[in-house]
Structure 1
Amino acid sequence: MSKHTEFKRITTNSLQLMKANGEKFSMLTAYDYSFAKIFDQAGLEVILVGDSAGNVMAGHETTLPITLEQMIYHTQSVVRGAKRALIVADLPFGTYQSNGEVALASSIRMMKEGGAHALKLEGGLEVCNSVKRIVEAGIPVMGHLGLTPQSIYKFGTYNVRAKEEAEAEKLKSDALALQEAGVFAIVLEKIPSKLAKEVTESLQVPTIGIGAGNSCDGQVLVMHDMLGLYNEFNPRFVRKYMNLFEPVTQAIQQYINDIKSGDFPNKEESY
């Protein structure tokens, strides 16, 4: 039987305690009030306001175009819906890479205006100065290694990362550097499960996997993937817990047909 600790409000410390107790935790993305409320009431520990909003909410090909203002808006919406979950917001591309002062200014806006509880940013050693600067200001930071979608044009592919020894060694040292810089957790995306296990065991802070096997302390998926809201994107690491695309399509088609046939609204649905 899996362990389950009750927390009135999930904090970064809660995740640390769960790792220490060998208790796994769950994270999903959300971008609006309604889904945040459902996820929170269902008992989800962490809600990520992902820059994947650029893809699933705005229709961009990559996460790169989404702005700080747009991420603040999505974060505000999610914060209003969740009363227990820890809400982590992505810092979008271009708002932290140049230097620590820019990163801190972006972070302060996300916390003050967005209402996030913590922030996530991508990269290893190259962003550690920014991480330190943000953490020194009292803002919790989650790291992100492996396949980092903001660097997609550098990678040129969404394939698994760190299969070669040199990249695997860099990822391991990056994880330790991020921990040293003060992150409270690290997302490991699309890396070999053996490597994810090594990294998880080497760290005091929890890891969160997405396509990184079962040894991470937590797991995350994009809500649209997990709920089957798309039918054209099926990576092997996604488990579809529902296939909402088909019943939603059918419901809308039925609605259209009922209007055209004069069946909706009927007498009971009229005043």
Structure 2
Amino acid sequence: MSDKPVRKVTVPRFLQAAEKGERLSMVTAYDHMWAGIMDEAGVDSILVGDSLSMVVQGHNSTLPVTLDEMIYHGRIVMRAVRRALVVVDMPFMSYQVSTEEAVRNAGRIMKETGADAVKLEGGAIQFDTIQAIMRAEIPVMAHVGMRPQAVRQLGGMGKVQRDEQQLLEDAQAAEAAGAFSIVLELVPADIAGRITKAVSIPTIGIGAGPHCSGQVLVGPDMLGLTPDFKPRFLKHYANLRQDALAAVRQYIGEVQSGEFPADEHCH
């Protein structure tokens, strides 16, 4: 990594970029190595997503991951990041009980990770919570549309949300409460476009088409590390799982044949 000074993406700079019409890029990362790679590549924002429950921990939903685990991963991501805006997800039941508990837990995330913002799911239903966290001077990114933490209520993961009036009300409520940005997940592209025009804060789409202010993808998904996950919105930019399998198989073969270690690998 270069020692050249970098211009940190702050919340105001994130907003300014969107106002200028610049398309915002966001990816998830959960550890020091991948966060460093994403940051060096120049991504605008890194989300320490509660998707780590599935991607890292092997669960079938985002519900099991804990606040302490989110803080742990947020902390190791922050050690690697020099430029990107880092947002940490508030996990299930860390903000739903009361506004007081939500503020306390958001404060823990900010204090113990050094992140730039938190993200929580909900719009109108979380108006008071978003407002309370914002009053504590903690930037909040909202999340409307398909909400993974509401998987039981919505009837399963991956359900496209088509109630335009409800989606619009959620987005406008999140903005009115003080959120600086909104993730739109699995919203039809035309509806996402109209929502983006209706609010003055940036929208970050995942499965929500090209009309959002920016896009977010799960890092391991876009890099081909999760081959069994093939939603329509996902584009594979690499096939690292196959590369890794080939490399490890080559290593095993060379160990078994005695080809490795060769003379140049010995002291």
Q: TM-score range by the shorter chain?
A: over 0.9
Is this contact kept in 2: 1:160–1:192, CA < 8 A? no
Identity of aligned residues (%): 45
Say yes or no: does 1:33 pair with 2:29.
no
Aligned partner letter, 2:201: V
Say yes or no: does 1:172 pair with 2:172.
no
Say yes or no: does 1:143 pair with 2:142.
yes
Aligned partner letter, 1:122: E
CA distance in 2, matches of 1:228, 1:80: 25
Aligned partner letter, 2:139: P
CA distance in 1, matches of 2:9, 2:206: 21
Give the 3-state SS of the residue equivalent to 2:151 in structure 1.
helix
Mean Cα displacement is larger for which, 261-270 or 205-214? 261-270
How big is the shift at 1:143? 0.3
Q: What is the aligned counterpart of 1:237 among 221, 233, 238?
A: 233
Aligned partner letter, 1:239: K
Tell me the residue number matched to 1:100: 99
Say yes or no: does 1:192 pair with 2:188.
yes
Is this contact kept in 2: 1:123–1:148, CA < 8 A? yes
How big is the shift at 1:161? 2.8
**Corresponding residue pairs, total:** 262
Say yes or no: does 1:51 pair with 2:47.
no
- Structure 1 gaps, min length 5: 1-6
CA distance in 1, matches of 2:266, 2:158: 54
Give the 3-state SS of the residue equivalent to 1:138 in structure 2.
coil
Q: Deviations over 1:6-41 (max 9, x none)?
A: x81111111211221111010000001111111111
Is this contact kept in 2: 1:160–1:191, CA < 8 A? no
How big is the shift at 1:189? 0.3
Aligned partner letter, 2:182: I
CA distance in 1, matches of 2:120, 2:147: 9
Q: Within 5 Å, which residues of 2 pair with 1:74-153?
A: 74-153=73-152
CA distance in 2, matches of 1:85, 1:159: 28
Aligned partner letter, 1:33: H
How big is the shift at 1:85? 0.5
How big is the shift at 1:158? 2.7
Give the 3-state SS of the residue equivalent to 1:81 in structure 2.
coil
RMSD value over aligned CA atoms?
1.0
CA distance in 1, matches of 2:242, 2:266: 29
CA distance in 1, matches of 2:122, 2:93: 13
Is this contact kept in 2: 1:207–1:217, CA < 8 A? yes
CA distance in 1, matches of 2:231, 2:180: 28
Tell me the residue number matched to 1:4: none
Is this contact kept in 2: 1:118–1:141, CA < 8 A? yes
Q: Deviations over 1:92-112 (max 9, x none)?
A: 001001110010111011001
How big is the shift at 1:159? 3.7
Tell me the residue number matched to 2:59: 60
CA distance in 2, matches of 1:17, 1:138: 19
CA distance in 2, matches of 1:265, 1:94: 51
Tell me the residue number matched to 1:209: 205
Aligned partner letter, 2:175: Q
CA distance in 2, matches of 1:218, 1:209: 6
How big is the shift at 1:53? 0.6
CA distance in 1, matches of 2:190, 2:104: 37
How big is the shift at 1:265? 1.1
CA distance in 1, matches of 2:210, 2:139: 25
Q: Deviations over 1:163-185 (max 9, x none)?
A: 2xxx2201101110110000000
Mean Cα displacement is larger for which, 257-266 or 135-144? 257-266
Is this contact kept in 2: 1:184–1:205, CA < 8 A? yes
CA distance in 1, matches of 2:68, 2:40: 27
Mean Cα displacement is larger for which, 154-163 or 86-95? 154-163
